Structure 1
Amino acid sequence: MKGSHSAPGYHQPPDRKSMHSQIVRDLGMRIVSGEYRVGDRLPMEASLCATYDVSRPVLREATRVLVAKGLVLSKQRAGAIVRPRNEWHLLDPDVLYWLIQAKPQPEFVQTLLTVRRIFEPAVAALAAKVASDESLKSVAEAYAGMEAAKTTEELLEPDLAFHRRIAEATGNDLLAYIGNMLSLALRESIKLSSKLPNTHALSLPRHKAILTALLSRDSLAARQATLLQLEETRGDLSVILDSGIDLA
């Protein structure tokens, strides 16, 4: 670990801010991946300080971040202990990203699609009922951005905005927050589905059906269009995962 930030023959003091982030990321990944299991105690302060070549204040600052993310419980004299998974703040962007990185790709896809099938159809149905004209215009603008995209890279951001703005259109702050937090996982899913050569042609009509239902204020149609889009997305992702396409 030391070798990653010190050159042979010259010892340069580690940058406090960058080392703080590195420690949080490293320990967070080890916890989420299961290297440190629930109930395990993280290595003692002196050992971690030596491993990362940092002072105790820097290490304690990093530990406080892990506590705030729900990953560990810090007890005086007992050190930092890994908390049960159901107490982790899984919608925290860092924790969610670590979880995505730690899971095998098929398991991540299945987990995300299950959450989306529960969340997105209900959100679309509600948005069709209660969204303001301005909110629906915002969703339509995101779709227009998808239509205008010339490459899969250009398609990504408006696609994410489309789903995020539907959650925002419900007028429910908590649903909007969840939709925003899911964007990180959704980004990885869209990147994966973009491995298909015809991803743009496949994506547009599915999203257009959702938009049409929203603009028609048809709650049932919005729910069904979203379910269909998710089912077809599941099929696309299955093709990719079974094809041996390079996922890197």
Structure 2
Amino acid sequence: MIKNVHGNTVDHLGEAIVAGRYAPGASIPPEPLLCEELGVSRTVVREAVKSLIAKGLVTSGPKVGTRVLTSDHWNWFDPDVIVWQSKSGFTPEFLRDLQDLRRVVEPAAVRMAAERATPEDILDIEAAYEGMRRAVEEGGDYVTHDLRFHQGLLRASRNRMLVQMSKALGALLRTSFEISTSRKDGPKNSLPLHRAVLDAVIAHNPARAEKAIVVLIDGAREDIETVLASRKRLPRLNLPARHLPA
């Protein structure tokens, strides 16, 4: 998606903050300097700063200017923040936090999905699985279908807060899936694990569904640890999803 002047300005400043070019506690340059540097109006700069405040990256007040906040204030459920972090480089701590979050949220959500999924929910999850299978067998975009599979499970929990979380978790989950996909035969090996989750949800068997998703998540954790140990270049989320070869 092509961003407008406002979006590009937010990206420029957000990337600089997340990359550490403006240290926590430091002030970002004053409006006149940013206007000159970026070739934008004061209105654009002010609106961009408002967006960064909403994302938890900066705080602003009279006489103190606009100051950078430490990363524990950042909104890690904001897709822009995740993309900016991917461009500056994921840390092992970030990726392990992500896996811990999945281990807490997904098993409970999938258990509820096995209890509450409607026929329409199951059709959506099955369609996502079929997309994954085709990508493995014929080549194509595995990651997007993998993301739809997991978001479909969260929606099938029929819990409004988890449904909202499925939207916020999108960029975080894609991070995990891109890394797992980078392993040789990673998607091929994970496909039967996804099938086990789907079959348990179709059977409305909560205990089996929960056990199956834990196996899947723990496998993803092993993939990520292997990739970290290999020091391979990690994916950048501002680029299109990785496609599997035919």
Give the TM-score, by structure 2 length: 0.83
Distance of 2:116 and 2:64 partners within structure 1: 51
Q: How does 1:1-248 map to 2 (within 5 A)?
A: 18-149=4-135, 150=137, 153-245=140-232, 247=234
Q: 1:39 to 1:247 in 2, by over 3 A?
A: closer
- Count of residues paired in the alignment: 232
**Structure 1 contact 42–82 (Cα < 8 Å) conserved:** yes
Residue 169 of structure 2 aligns to a residue whose secondary structure is helix
Distance of 2:28 and 2:234 partners within structure 1: 33
Q: 1:77 to 1:55 in 2, by over 3 A?
A: farther
**Structure 2 contact 121–152 (Cα < 8 Å) conserved:** yes
Residue 67 of structure 1 aligns to a residue whose secondary structure is helix
**Residue 28 of structure 1: CA displacement?**
1.1
**Residue 189 of structure 1: CA displacement?**
2.2
Q: Output the amino acid matched with 2:27.
A: R
**Residue 202 of structure 1: CA displacement?**
0.5
Bigger drift between 43-52 and 83-92 goes to 83-92
Give the TM-score, by structure 1 length: 0.83
Residue 36 of structure 1 aligns to a residue whose secondary structure is coil
**Residue 32 of structure 1: CA displacement?**
2.5
**Residue 36 of structure 1: CA displacement?**
2.8
**Residue 206 of structure 1: CA displacement?**
0.6
Compute the RMSD of aligned alpha carbons: 2.3
**Residue 213 of structure 1: CA displacement?**
1.3
**Structure 2 contact 111–206 (Cα < 8 Å) conserved:** yes
Q: What runs of 5+ residues in structure 2 fail to find an aligned partner?
A: 236-246
**Residue 123 of structure 1: CA displacement?**
0.7
Q: Which has the larger radius of gyration?
A: 1
Distance of 1:227 and 1:131 partners within structure 2: 19
Percent identical across equivalent pairs?
34
Distance of 1:217 and 1:231 partners within structure 2: 22
Distance of 2:90 and 2:56 partners within structure 1: 23
Residue 80 of structure 1 aligns to a residue whose secondary structure is strand
**Structure 1 contact 152–194 (Cα < 8 Å) conserved:** no
**Residue 246 of structure 1: CA displacement?**
5.0
Deviations 1:187-228 (A, max 9, x none): 232222222221232011110111111112111111111111
Higher-RCO chain (CA-CA 8 Å, sequence separation at least 6) = 2
**Residue 72 of structure 1: CA displacement?**
2.0
**Residue 41 of structure 1: CA displacement?**
2.3
